[in-house]
Amino acid sequence: MSARTWSALAIALIGAGAFAFATLNTDRGVAIDLGFMTLRRVPVSAVAFGGFVAGLLVMIVAGIHSDLKVRRILRTRLAEEADQERVTMVDHTQRDLFAGEDRRGEEVL
């Protein structure tokens, strides 16, 4: 089986498991104490889905922070390399080796 088939199968199994969990726990209600208020009879599947979404948001924030840090490091490294290339690659004292030829290699009279 190809990797694409395995991925599709894994997604289908996870979806089926989530569907089964949600349907088997529709009548189950839990109380969620938020500190300033208490939510009663919240479905377990809603709590699980809310936890999943909260985890996604936390990972997005952590990923953005990490991504910006890496971009900053790469930007400074690129600027340093560009400065080094400007200093070492350009020879302002260079003269034409063949003064009698133009750029195409043809002789100038």
3-class DSSP assignment, residue 7: helix
For the chain, the structural domain boundaries read: 3-89
**Phi, psi values for residue 6, rounded to 5°:** -60, -40
Q: CA-to-CA distance for 32 and 37, rounded, in angstroms? A: 9
Report pLDDT for 48: 83
3-class DSSP assignment, residue 10: helix
Look up the pTM and report it.
0.49
Helix ranges (DSSP H) in 31-105 = 44-89
3-class DSSP assignment, residue 92: coil
Residue 31 has pLDDT above 80, yes or no: yes
Q: CA-to-CA distance for 46 and 22, rounded, in angstroms? A: 8
Between 105 and 21, the more confident residue is 21
